[in-house]
Amino acid sequence: MKRREFITLIGGAAAWPLASRAQQRSAIPVVGFLQPGSAAEFGQFARAFLQGLKTVGYVEGETVSIEYRWAEGSYGELPRLAVESSSSS
């Protein structure tokens, strides 16, 4: 193997970890929004949450994915909803 071919081979191999890191960065983070009330009653909190995310550079569907879970007043459902959210990701 010639010196130039060897350097090209080593240079290409060194770029593999960078390529895999770049692919991992393309996945957007998922945030869970868990609320004991209903969307009709407490939707303003979800809107305020989205506005807060937007002020720090996150946009739903573009830079972050948000999973909403509403317990509809049934506090006993909160643990199940939390597990459902974490197991679906």
Does the pTM of the predicted model rise above 0.75?
no
Q: 73, 85, 89: which is closest to 28 by C-alpha? A: 89
Percent share of the chain, pLDDT over 90 = 18
* Burial class of residue 70 in the structure, from the number of CB atoms within 10 Å of its CB (0-12 exposed, 13-18 middle, 19+ buried): buried
pLDDT digits (tens, 9 = 90+) for 33-68: 888 899 888 888 889 989 999 999 999 999 999 888
| Rounded (to 5) percent helix, strand, coil in the chain | 60, 15, 25
Look at 48 and 10; give whichever has higher pLDDT. Answer: 48
* Distance, CA of 88 to CA of 6 (rounded, Å): 46
* Distance, CA of 64 to CA of 58 (rounded, Å): 6
- Residue 19 banded pLDDT, cuts 50, 70, 90: very low
